[in-house]
């Protein structure tokens, strides 16, 4: 079962830390958003393999927007 990792808040994508195929778990920072003048790590809630990253560095993202998909 795949997981869609959504953005918990609006902000700008500062860095992407993983690429498709990487094995990740709930302590892996998939990417870093900048919001409220803070760097905010985005973690998945389950473990799996990165299927797709749907944003790129510099993108502005909204609350609830899908950032990555795990498989």
Partner 1 sequence: MNERNIDPYRKLERIRGRLKEKWIRASERQRAKGKLSAMERLEILLDPGSFVPLQSLVMPMYAEFDEKQADAMGDGIVIGYGTIEGRPVVVFAEDFSYKGGSMGKSHLEKMEWAIKLAIEFGVPLIGLYDSGGARIQEGVHSLTALGGVFFQNVMASGWIPQIAVIMGPCAGGAVYSPALTDFVFMVDKTSYMFITGPKVVKAVTGEDVDSEQLGGASVQTRKSGVATLMAKDDKEALLAVRKLLSYLPSNAGEDPPRVNTGDPWDRIDEELNRIIPADQRKPYDVKVIIKRVFDKDSFYEIQPFFAQNAVVGFARLSGYVVGIVANQPKFLGGVLDIDSSDKIARFVRFCDAFNIPLITFVDTPGYMPGTAQEHGGIIRHGAKVIYAYSEATVPKITVIVRKAYGGAYIAMCSRKLGADVVYAYPTAEIAVMGPEGAIEIIYKKEIEATPPEEREELIRKLANEYREKWSNPYVATASAYVDEVIEPKETRPMLYRTLCTLLKRKKRFSKMPTKRHGNMPV
Instruction: Note whether 4 binds partner 1 by CB under 8 A.
Output: no
How far apart CA 65 and CA 68 sit, in angstroms, is 9
Sheet with 11-16: list strands edge to edge: 38-42, 31-35, 11-16, 60-61
Report the nearest approach of partner 1 to the CB of residue 60 (Å). Answer: 13
Cβ atoms of 12 and 58 within 8 Å: the answer is: yes
Instruction: Note whether 39 binds partner 1 by CB under 8 A.
Output: yes
Q: Out of 3, 22, 34, 59, which residue is the one contacting partner 1 (CB under 8 A)?
A: 34
Report the nearest approach of partner 1 to the CB of residue 67 (Å). Answer: 14
Residues in touch with partner 1 (CB under 8 A): 8-10, 34-41, 43, 45, 63-64
């Amino acid at each position: 079962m795949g997981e869609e990792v959504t953005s918990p808040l609006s902000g700008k994508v500062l860095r992407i830390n993983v690429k498709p195929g990487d094995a990740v778990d709930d302590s892996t920072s998939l990417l870093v958003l900048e919001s409220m003048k803070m760097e905010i790590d985005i973690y998945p809630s389950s473990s799996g393999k990165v299927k797709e990253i749907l944003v790129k560095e510099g993108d502005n993202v909204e609350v609830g927007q899908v950032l990555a998909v795990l498989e």
